[in-house]
Chains A and B, each alone.
Chain A
Amino acid sequence: MPETKKFLYVNRKAPYGTIYALESLEVVLIGAAFEQDVSLAFLDDGVYQITKGQNTKDIGMKNFSPTYKALGDYDVNKIYVEQESLDARGLTLDDLLPLTWEDEDDDWAEKESIKVISAAEMAKIMEQSDVVFSF
């Protein structure tokens, strides 16, 4: 059994103005094949990536927000969202996509992937990660 490392992907950019959000999502999906312990962090403008109701048909870009809902299938189910970042943007948990995963060890019970945490708690999660990718 190879050693499992704690990977953290930090997302800090809004979804369509730059390519960072989409790049990060693709790296997460590719990286999921390596069966490591993966967590995602959304802070600053990154929280905009997972808001509900995105519809890009009038700007001619791909709406990749539905893909976040597939993360559970990829065993990516630790998604941390920073409270202070939501507050600064007038957003609440209700504004975010419902991201869930199914627990194979619990008769496929559907569970929430998102945890809203404070900046101080986020700092701890960053500190405890072996590998951090920042987008």
Chain B
Amino acid sequence: MALEVGGKSIETDEEGYLENRDEWDIEIAKAIAVAENLEMSDSHWEVVNFLREYYEEYQIAPAVRVLTKAIGKKLGKDKGNSKYLYELFPYGPAKQACKIAGLPKPTGCV
């Protein structure tokens, strides 16, 4: 599969995750969000950016449970719960937000 962004063709796997993480930029993120039917707000970007930082440090996309706990610690308890995160990303924060962040599917996430 491929995603057309700004005249360029970006390779993705069959589920829409980027094949090459280094190709990621903000325009690609927006295009993936459109494909996911998501209107990106600052709150969405906050989670996406958090995931990118987490990956940079630990070289993995965290499981939902870990993401929730870590977000709560970094961004406040009101955001560190699955209700808040599922409202932003209805098909699963780890799955959808990771896809938009250009990261692989979280380990153990089927």
Q: Do chains A and B touch in the complex (CB under 8 A)?
A: yes
A interface residues, Cβ below 8 angstroms from B: 26, 29-30, 32-33, 62-64, 66-67, 69-70, 73-74, 108
Query: Which of A30, A73, A108 lies in contact with B107, CB distance below 8 A?
Result: A30
State whether B66 touches A73 (Cβ < 8 A): yes
Instruction: Report which of A32, A62, A67, A108 forms a contact with B58, defined as CB distance below 8 A.
Output: A67
Contact call A70/B108, Cβ cutoff below 8 A: no
Which residue on chain B has the smallest CB distance to residue A68?
B58
A63 touches B65 (CB 8 A): no
A64 to B57: give the CA distance in the assembly, Å.
11
B62, CB-defined interface residue at 8 Å: yes
Is A73 touching B62 in the complex (CB atoms < 8 A)?
Answer: yes
Considering the complex, give the chain A residue whose CB is closest to the CB of B67.
A73
Q: How far is the CB of B106 from chain A (nearest CB, A)?
A: 9
| Contacts A/B (CB < 8 Å), 14 sampled | A29-B60, A29-B107, A29-B108, A30-B107, A32-B63, A62-B59, A63-B59, A66-B59, A67-B59, A69-B57, A69-B58, A70-B58, A70-B62, A74-B66
| Count of A-B residue pairs with CB < 8 Å | 34
B33 interface residue (CB < 8 Å to A): no
List, in ascending order, chain B residues with CB within 8 A of A67's CB.
58-60
For B31, what are the chain A residues with a Cβ–Cβ distance below 8 Å?
Answer: none
Interchain CA distance A73-B58 in the complex, whole Å: 11
- Besides A29-B60, A29-B63, A67-B58, 11 more A-B contacts (Cβ < 8 Å) are A29-B107, A30-B107, A32-B108, A33-B63, A62-B59, A66-B57, A66-B58, A69-B58, A70-B58, A70-B60, A73-B66
Q: How far is the CA of A62 from the CA of B22 in the complex (A)?
A: 14
CB-CB < 8 A to B30: which residues of A? none
| A73–B60 CA distance with the chains assembled, in angstroms | 12
